[in-house]
Amino acid sequence: MIPDYLNPRFIPKHIACVMDGNGRWAEKRGLKRTEGHTAGEKSLFDVVEGAIEIGVEWFTVFAFSTENWKRPAKEVQFLLDFNEQIIIQRQDELNERNVRICFLGRRDGKVPKRIVKRMEEAEKLTKSNTGLTFTVAFNYGGRAEIVDAVQKVIDSGVKKVTEKTIEKNLYNPEMPDPDLVIRTSGESRVSNFLLWELAYSELVFSDTLWPDFSRKDLFNAIKEFQDRDRRFGGLGGS
């Protein structure tokens, strides 16, 4: 059910989220950083349910970046195992909710083959679903995506390059640009996330650490989005 304070005619089609603050949330409570990631999973699926509830069509999250390999080896291994377990444990539930699962990012030698297999299985299981498209950016970097797109264009032998040429060679050309990008934890930067796609996205920065972020916070971010005047380089509607 859409809250009364939201305009149902202007629900963002695509929301993307940088889920930041898991480690700091745990440290504030004297817990291991890994426990913050576990708490963050609960928030993630509460927010996903909220997105489904109000009719969002695409919801994309930044789960593991190309820069995350620089973290301590134990934390990297935890994140790999943790994301694999989320896929295993949640794919049937999401499939029953008519959610289509997609993954965005490099599936190169750095990513264990077993995880790539899990990704492919989840995508295959849910490919015919018609509800929310839940995209997980895993081993993803915005610059890497642009570089990979340009390399594909070069390899194809195309002589004249336009924006459309690049767009057709991004990781998922079907994915619309985000209308709204949310980052939690009080940090005000995009951190190499969807650099090409967020050219005209509205950015909302929340002070809330990700494990404390709920669907209510999602709805508040959407309210802020609806209160803005999106110009797309023009003069706006007022």
Domain spans of the chain, in order of start: 11-141+178-225
Task: Give yes or no for residue 13 having a pLDDT over 60.
Answer: yes
68 is catalytic: yes
Report residue 190's pLDDT band, with 50, 70 and 90 as the boundaries: very high
What are the DSSP E strand ranges found in 19-155?
A: 58-65, 100-104, 133-140
Report residue 229's pLDDT band, with 50, 70 and 90 as the boundaries: confident
Encode 40-61 in three state secondary structure. HHHHHHHHHHHHHHHCCCEEEE
pLDDT at residue 237, as a whole number: 55
Q: What is the mean pLDDT of the chain?
A: 95
Q: Which region among 33-47, 142-156, 194-208, 222-236 has the lowest average model confidence (pLDDT)?
A: 222-236
Packing angle, helices 73-96 and 113-126, rounded to 10: 20
User: Can you tell me the distance from the alpha carbon of 29 to that of 149, in angstroms, rounded to the nearest whole number?
Assistant: 42
140 three-class SS: strand
Furthest C-alpha separation in the chain: 57
User: Can you tell me the distance from the alpha carbon of 26 to that of 96, in angstroms, rounded to the nearest whole number?
Assistant: 32
Report residue 232's pLDDT band, with 50, 70 and 90 as the boundaries: low
Given 20, 22, 169, 217, which residue is catalytic? 20
CATH of 11-141+178-225, one of 3.40.50.300, 1.50.10.10, 3.20.20.70, 3.40.1180.10: 3.40.1180.10
Q: What is the pLDDT of residues 109-131, one digit of tens each?
A: 899 999 999 999 999 999 999 99
Task: Give yes or no for residue 180 having a pLDDT over 90.
Answer: yes
Averaged pLDDT, 9-37: 95
Averaged pLDDT, 150-173: 96
Q: Are 125 and 88 in contact (CB under 8 A)?
A: no
Given 68, 129, 172, 192, which residue is catalytic? 68
Report residue 108's pLDDT band, with 50, 70 and 90 as the boundaries: confident
pLDDT at residue 1, as a whole number: 83
pLDDT at residue 238, as a whole number: 45
Which residues 6+ apart lie within 8 Å of 126 measured at CB? 91, 94, 95, 99, 100, 101
Task: Give yes or no for residue 48 having a pLDDT over 50.
Answer: yes
pLDDT at residue 236, as a whole number: 60
Strand order in the sheet with 202-205: 100-104, 133-140, 58-65, 14-18, 180-183, 202-205
Q: Is 227 exposed, middle or buried (0-12, 13-18, 19+ CB in 10 A)?
A: exposed
Kindly tell me the sign of the dihedral angle through the C-alpha atoms of 70, 35, 22, 194. Answer: positive
207 is catalytic: no
State the number of CA atoms in the 13 A half-sphere of 6 facing the CB. 24
